[in-house]
């Protein structure tokens, strides 16, 4: 389970975040491309934009549930 104490500083403020367990698998970026992006220098994903529509919320939830290392957190 993602730990808010270990979230990456690149995450925008809000409900969803990615922590330091991320293995850069690309699943979240494929599932919710409007909300997740890659930090190239560090080789991990982070939340670039919190969901603003029901569709984006559903995509973020799907990304969180599909994350193989549970690096996506939902603090809300």
Summarised one tens digit per residue, pLDDT across range 6-34 is: 999 999 999 999 999 999 999 999 999 99
Whether 76 has a pLDDT exceeding 80, the answer reads no
**Max intra-chain CA distance, the chain:** 31
Q: What percent of the chain has pLDDT over 90?
A: 99
Q: What is the pLDDT of residue 44?
A: 98
Residue 56 lies in domain: 4-74
Radius of gyration of the chain (CA): 11
Cα 67–Cα 70–Cα 72 angle in degrees, nearest 5: 80
Across the chain, what does the average pLDDT equal? 97
**CB atoms inside a 10 Å sphere around CB 11:** 20
Q: What is the pLDDT of residue 51?
A: 98
CATH at 21: 3.30.70.20
Number of domains observed in the structure of the chain:
1
Whether 39 has a pLDDT exceeding 90, the answer reads yes
Cα distance between residue 20 and residue 11, in whole Å: 11
């Amino acid at each position: 389970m993602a730990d808010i104490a270990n979230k990456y500083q690149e995450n925008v403020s809000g409900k969803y975040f990615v922590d330091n367990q991320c293995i850069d698998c690309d699943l979240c970026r494929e599932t919710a491309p409007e909300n997740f992006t890659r930090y190239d220098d560090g080789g991990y994903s982070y939340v670039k934009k919190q969901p603003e529509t029901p569709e984006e919320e559903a995509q973020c939830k799907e990304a969180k549930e599909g994350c193989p290392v549970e690096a996506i957190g939902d603090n809300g």
